[in-house]
Amino acid sequence: MTPGRDSTPRIFELTNMTSGIDALRAEYGSSIATLAGALAAGDEQLFLSELDLLVHRRERTLFSELRKLTGDLQSALDRFSVDSRLVDLAEKEVPDARARLDHVLKMTDEAAHKTMDLVEQCGPLAERTARSADDISGKWTRFRARQLQVEEFRSMVTQLDVFLVASRTDMDRVRNNLTEVLMAQGYQDLSGQIIRGVMKLVSELETALVDLVRLSRGGPQAAPVAAKDTMSRGFGPAVPGVDNGPSVSGQSDVDSLLAGLGM
Amino acid sequence: MSKDMKFLVVDDFSTMRRIIKNLLNDLGYANVQEADDGQTALPILQSGGIDFLVTDWNMPGMPGLDLLKAVRSDPKLAKLPVLMLTAEAKREQIIEAAQAGVNGYVIKPFTAVTLKEKIDKILEQRAA
């Protein structure tokens, strides 16, 4: 190592030390002189009051250092909280969100098919009723015009008997299918709740990323990360493969749980 | 209670309110009022005239559980029949609803038959 190479830091250290001593001398020199003078002159009151001033000045410096340390600690904790929330979002909640949206796709698909199946079942039933009514109506018109033969009348009565029974059965089935179509629309509520949950997650992710950027720039203190849903607010529909908490599997499970509670 | 009794259906999804209203109409209950969360439901309940409350759990503003607690803590409404109709399926939630005084709990997706059974059961218990 050449002497020229290590000479620069030493000069720098010396300069630093000199400027440190100078600063201390400027800050405390006069106090020390006053203290020494008071001691030499035997002025107890002056000595004690000057000593108090000195201690007070030193404490102020210590407190300001402590405040700075506390600030640094707070910002490190904020960064840690944003970081750990981001890890949680990236590792667990984003894949969960994918599973939730997949479940929504499945639900909408099932509801659309169920509705169309029911509508397709209703079509032929309505058509059969209309065709039979039309057939009987022709004979009925001739009967009212007294143009129907006895044999034809007998056949019409038999046809009418069959029609009344069949139309009753068919219309019952149409009515049931209409109720089923109505119930199938419940997918909108369930999928809507899941989509809302995913939207909330996206906005939380956005907030966490913005906070992280702000912290890395040393900007103002980050906003606290939004708290997760409490039980009182509700968790939304259970999604297969996502919600691992103890959930009921259906209405019979709910009924036995409530029965166990004496309801 | 007769078929003239007045229902209040509380759900933030208008499609679900419509489904329940239609089912109640099919069951012969033509008098059905709607609200989209607990906050809008509570003044309707407090103004009187509602005989049966059907409520969702997960709603913005005031959730169904808070509405149930508010109903039970109001001396005028404390005995109102309340049916929770919700997708909330955690066991601890059902237990909490039961402890808060719910009369019936139907889980979504549900069937028309289940809704009828639960309403009938609650009304039978009231009559007994």
Q: Does B90 touch chain A (CB under 8 A)?
A: yes
How many Å apart are CA A158 and CA A141, to the nearest integer?
A: 17
Can you tell me which residue has the tokens 């939730």?
A100
pLDDT at A134: 94
Residue from A187, A191, A251 whose CB has the most chain B CBs within 10 Å, to mutate = A251
Task: State pLDDT tens for residues A14-55.
Answer: 555 567 788 888 888 888 899 999 989 998 999 999 999 888
Can you tell me which residue has the tokens 């894949």?
A95
Average pLDDT, chain A: 84
Cβ pair A236:B88 closer than 8 A? yes
- Find the range with the poorest average confidence among A228-232, A237-241, A251-255, B86-90: A228-232
- Banded model confidence at residue A243, pLDDT cuts 50, 70, 90: low
pTM of the model: 0.70
Q: Does A244 touch chain B (CB under 8 A)?
A: no
Q: Does B106 touch chain A (CB under 8 A)?
A: yes
Is the pLDDT reported for residue A228 higher than 80? Answer: no
Q: Does B40 touch chain A (CB under 8 A)?
A: no
Nearest Cα of chain B lies from the Cα of A192 at a distance, in angstroms, of 8
- 3-class SS string, A74-88: HHHHHHHHHHHHHHH
pLDDT at A254: 92
Taking each helix axis from N to C terminus, what angle separates B38-46 and B64-73, rounded to the nearest 10 degrees? Answer: 20
pLDDT at A20: 79
Q: Say how many CB pairs under 8 Å bridge A and B.
A: 101
Phi/psi at A149 (nearest 5 deg)? -75, 160
Which tokens hold the place of A140?
A: 């009925």
Calculate the alpha carbon distances from B56 to A25, A46, A174, A179, B79 in Å: 75, 78, 29, 21, 19
How many Å apart are CA A152 and CA A139, to the nearest integer?
A: 8
More confident residue, A203 or B54: B54
Question: Does an H or E element contain B52, and which?
Answer: strand B52-55
Residues A222 and A78 sit within 8 Å (Cβ to Cβ) = yes
Residues B41 and B24 sit within 8 Å (Cβ to Cβ) = no
Interface pTM, i.e. ipTM: 0.81
How many Å apart are CA A31 and CA A41, to the nearest integer?
A: 15
- What's the mean pLDDT in A204-225? 72
pLDDT at A82: 75
By Cβ distance, the residue of A189, A232, A233 closest to B15 is A189
The b/e string for A88-127 (b: 16+ C-beta within 10 A; e otherwise) is ebeeebeebbeebeebbeebeeebeeebeebeeebeebee
pLDDT at A204: 87
The identity of residue B21, as a single letter, is K
pLDDT at A5: 46
By Cβ distance, the residue of B57, B94, B110 closest to A234 is B57
Which tokens hold the place of A197?
A: 């949950």
Chain A residue nearest residue B63, CA to CA: A233
Residues of chain B with pLDDT under 70: 1
Nearest Cα of chain B lies from the Cα of A258 at a distance, in angstroms, of 7
Task: State pLDDT tens for residues A54-70.
Answer: 888 888 888 888 888 88
Phi/psi at B36 (nearest 5 deg)? -100, -5
Q: Does B85 touch chain A (CB under 8 A)?
A: no
Cα Rg, chain A, nearest whole Å: 43
pLDDT more than 70, % of chain A: 87
